[in-house]
Amino acid sequence: MSFFRSFLACGLTALAAAFAPVAQAQPTTYAYSVALTLAAPKGSASETASKNKTLPAGIKFSPCDATALDQFAFTLKYDAGKAAVGTTPGTLQNVYVIFHRDGSFVFPLVRSPLITTGAIFKVYVAPGNIQTTDAYTAVSDNLGGAQTEVILGGNLTLHGLDSGVWLVTAIIAPAATVNFDDPRTWSAWDTLPFMLRKPWKGFTNSYCE
């Protein structure tokens, strides 16, 4: 009898194993990454301001006082995937760079091949209005792997921008599913603040000269 029970138990175990769901290999998640840094170029108004202990030290700051050029250099380090190799599918995604100030518009920096429009700032009233094609580095222009570059290749002059605290945000995301109003759709992102003239726009001297 004990032999029969043992035989029956073995049979049921084998039957259960036969109908158990087959374990599926989990896809490897690509390690997307992006980081922004900001430097005050030598000779700029922001470099001079950084040596003045009476001026803001907790944020990169440019006084916009027209005594020297108001410039910053924004460096972007990112890994937005790799191209397909043989039967291995590609993981490339778009890289977006967006400038924004609370209470103001959003300005995605769109970089296209020079034979078309070059690099331009687009203007939208809200992040949700940004188009998925408004990429700084599109998949078609992405070499893949770790990249380091200075945004637009050099120091950016800030004259004409509203005064106040600004943010520059870099986002890696797939164009097919990105929602600029929902960080859950972003594969990696970073945000960096900087300030022009004063903490708000105000009514007097309200832009960077």
User: Three-state secondary structure along 29-77?
Assistant: CCCCEEEEEEECCCCCHHHHHHCCCCCCCCCEEECCCCCCCCEEEEEEE
- Three-class SS state of 2: helix
pLDDT tens digits, 107-118: 999 987 666 667
Range scoring the smallest mean pLDDT among 2-11, 30-39, 50-59, 200-209 = 2-11
Q: What is the pLDDT of residue 117?
A: 67
- In the chain, where are the structural domains located? 30-196
Q: Specify the pTM.
A: 0.83
pLDDT at 153: 87
The SS3 of residue 108 is: strand
Give the pLDDT confidence score for residue 17 in this predicted structure.
Answer: 43
HSE-up of residue 53 (Cα within 13 Å, Cβ side): 0
Tokens of 152: 């637009």
What is the H or E stretch that residue 119 is in? strand 119-121
Amino acid at 166: W
Q: Are 64 and 166 in contact (CB under 8 A)?
A: no
